[in-house]
Structures are given as C-alpha cells and as structure tokens.
Amino acid sequence: MPRETITVGGVIVEPGQRAYGSLYAGHLAARTEVRIPFQVLNGMADGPNICLEATLHGWEPMGAEILRRALLQVDPARLRGTIYCLPLANPFSVEFGGSVESTGTRVNPADLLDLNRVWPGKRENAWLTEQMAYVIWTEVLSRCQYLVDYHDGTGACDELPVAFPHAIPEDGAVQATLADGVGGSGGGNRLTSEYIADMNGKIRAMAEAFGSPVIWWRQTPVNPAMISGHCLLNGIVPLVVEAGGGGQIDFTIDQGVTCTLNILKHLGMIDGEPVLPERQLMVEQYVVYRSRTGGFYLPESGIALGVEVTKGQLLGQVIDPLTSEIQEECRSPVNGMIISRRIKMPINPGGYIAHIADLDSTIWSRENG
Ligand SMILES: [Zn+2]
C-alpha cells in the first residue's frame, strides 16, 4: 500500500523524502517571528511515528548535534515509519538569556517560563511558552506513538549518555496542576492497571535498547506539565535521555548518536542490531550533587565520566579564588558511578558538581559480551 504524503508546518513531505521547515508560533513585540525548526523523514514503508526532540532547555543544546549527526545516517527511502525531529524546540533560550558564549538559558527569555513545565500548552490566554508547547503538541507530538526528549549536562557539566525513564507509579498517581494554571491537568481515569503495565513495559524496553551504561528508573507521581508526563497520560511512550554538555564535541556525542540509532533499530524503523556497551545497569537512586557555596571548583584528578567512586571519596574542592582557602570538600554521598562531572571552574551555590548513579540501588544489570 503506498504511503501517504505528510504536511507539517506547511511543508509537504513525500514518502521516501527528507524535508526541513519550521513551526510558526507567534510574533514578539518588535514583530520578530517565533519559529521552531524541524526535520521530517517520511519513510517509504509503514512503521511508527517518533518525535525526537531536543533543547527544551536552551543551555542543553548537545541533543541537537546528536540528532543532526544521527539523522544523516538514516535514509528516508529505507525508513519504516516517520521521524519528526525538533532539535531546537526552545530556540530563543539557545540564542538569548545568557549569551552564545555561555550556552543559553534554561527558560524562554521572552516570558521566563520552562518549556518542560507547560504541557500540553494553550493557544488562548497563554504565555508564549505555552503557545509554543501547543504548536508542538498539535502539529507534531500528537501524531506520534513515541517520544525521545534529549537534555544534556548544561554548560557546566559533561555527561555520559543516560536514559532517565519516567514510568507511571503502580497506583497511577498524577501530580496536581500548578497553582497559576500553567500546564496540563492529567488524564482523568484513563490509567487502568493494564494501561500502566503496557506503558511501563514499553518504556523499560526502550530504555534498555537506548544502550546507555546506566539507566535511572523513576516511578514517581506523573507530572502532567512535563512533556514526558503529558505523553504518559496520552498513550505516547516517552523516554527522557541526557548526553553531552559544556557545548563541546567529545566521545559523548558519538555515543549519543549510537544510542539514538539503537532506538530506531529497536522500533524496527531502520535495519541493524543495537550496538550496546559491555555492561548496562539500572539504578533506582541517583544523586544530583550540587555545591553548598560558591568559588572556583577544582576537580580531583581521576574523577572522569564512568569511573566508580566510594562513599566519602573526594570529587573536588570549591576554593576561595583570592585566598586559596578551601570552602567546600565535595565528597560522594554514595558508592556510585560518575555520570556527569563539572568542567566549568566558577561556581555559584547550588551549581552542579556531578550526577552519581547509586550502585547500591542497582535493580537490573545486563552483560552484553
Ligand atoms: Zn534539561
């Protein structure tokens, strides 16, 4: 049966074709257009629709580079299904807010809202960020059965690829809406035990197939205002991932490309077997270690991505940049593996030092030979 032509953002994409375009989301005060760029690969054969989306947070642009490289390796004439790619979902947060030199800002500088806290967005009586979410949802995401949401270690930290599956808790608990009415209201009574089991099984299979050395499994109450939570409540299988950081090209980008292609292989959209690391672990506990104070951060040598550390081991020190006085000794609170590590020296209170997978909370592991 011949596949259908797709129209998205006013762009017509024939079966077997790749196309680029942008979603129109409004105008700013000086009439600058707000446009969200996309790439679509419309396969020749039937298969799932997947949304690959990066940079909801503008200070985390490395997912865009991973997706650019990965999709150059996908031939739409041999693809099964359709890939909707939104590599720069929150464009002004990349371009403004910090500066290009400091890799953008987490929120949208136009209204200071977080594009990962406003789903499914609104068109009327809505902030710009809500209108952008609405356009993404109505024009792209609502057509899909799968979502992969890419984040990175921000400008301050480098990070291994890691799958952060948000699964639904056994009791189907959904968080309440935010007080100011921004964000979604959940899915009512649709979360039957069958729905939860089916969704969680698909998320787990996708997380394992992504092929990161560590998977952080989370089953906390669903936040319907997050893109992953909104998908969870609407039959779209979401996977949150992180990879790379510091705005730099290194091995984490190549690994992120491999992981991205693994997902497409897992879903049967492209040919080939997933390329997996020798060992994969799934943990339930994961430490986001942040500084108590400010100063210059000096890492200990040997605290590299992927190394194992013991509880109490020194990761680095925050020093007074004038007097050399040690302000804080940063020690691992767990026996763990370093998943992200700070690469930027100046640090304010609360700055990211490391993400550490708690190896004592391992719930699954696999040797891939
Ligand atoms: Zn993020």
Cα-to-centroid distance, 93 and ligand 1 (Å): 12
Cα-to-centroid distance, 151 and ligand 1 (Å): 5
Cα-to-centroid distance, 323 and ligand 1 (Å): 35
Cα-to-centroid distance, 250 and ligand 1 (Å): 19
Residue 367 has pLDDT above 70, yes or no: yes
The pLDDT value recorded for residue 231 is: 97
Cα-to-centroid distance, 106 and ligand 1 (Å): 7
Stretch 325-339: mean pLDDT: 98
Instruction: Give the pLDDT band (50/70/90) at residue 189.
Output: low
Q: Which of 226, 248, 277 is the last residue of a domain?
A: 277
Q: Which of 114-123, 152-161, 178-187, 271-280 has the lowest mean pLDDT?
A: 178-187
For 343-361, what is each residue's pLDDT tens digit? Answer: 999 999 999 999 999 999 9
Are residues 66 and 215 both part of a single domain?
A: yes
Nearest one of 86, 79, 15, 1 to 47, comparing CA atoms: 79
For 34-58, what is each residue's pLDDT tens digit? Answer: 999 999 999 999 999 999 999 999 9
Are residues 318 and 216 both part of a single domain?
A: no
Distance CA 176, CA 227 (A): 15
Are residues 250 and 291 both part of a single domain?
A: no
Q: Which of 277, 294, 316 is the last residue of a domain?
A: 277
Task: State the residue range of the domain holding 352.
Answer: 286-367
Are residues 315 and 247 both part of a single domain?
A: no
What interhelical angle do 62-72 and 251-266 show, nearest 10? 60
Are residues 251 and 320 both part of a single domain?
A: no
Cα-to-centroid distance, 46 and ligand 1 (Å): 32
Are residues 205 and 323 both part of a single domain?
A: no
Are residues 196 and 297 both part of a single domain?
A: no
CATH number, domain containing residue 316: 2.40.50.100
CATH number, domain containing residue 219: 3.40.630.10
Cα-to-centroid distance, 369 and ligand 1 (Å): 32
Q: Which residues pair with 11 in a beta bridge?
A: 8
Instruction: Give the pLDDT band (50/70/90) at residue 266.
Output: very high
In a domain, 179, yes or no: yes
Strand 237-242 and strand 146-151: the pairing is: parallel
Cα-to-centroid distance, 237 and ligand 1 (Å): 19
What is the count of structural domains for the chain? 2
Residue 186 has pLDDT above 60, yes or no: no
Q: What percent of the chain has pLDDT over 70?
A: 95
Q: Which of 86-90, 151-155, 176-180 has the lowest mean pLDDT?
A: 176-180
Instruction: Give the pLDDT band (50/70/90) at residue 96.
Output: confident
In a domain, 1, yes or no: no
Cα-to-centroid distance, 152 and ligand 1 (Å): 6
Instruction: Give the pLDDT band (50/70/90) at residue 177.
Output: low
Are residues 310 and 243 both part of a single domain?
A: no
The pLDDT value recorded for residue 250 is: 97
The pLDDT value recorded for residue 97 is: 77
Cα-to-centroid distance, 53 and ligand 1 (Å): 12
Q: Which of 254, 277, 300 is the last residue of a domain?
A: 277
Residues in the chain: 369
Note the pTM of the prediction, 2 decimals.
Answer: 0.96
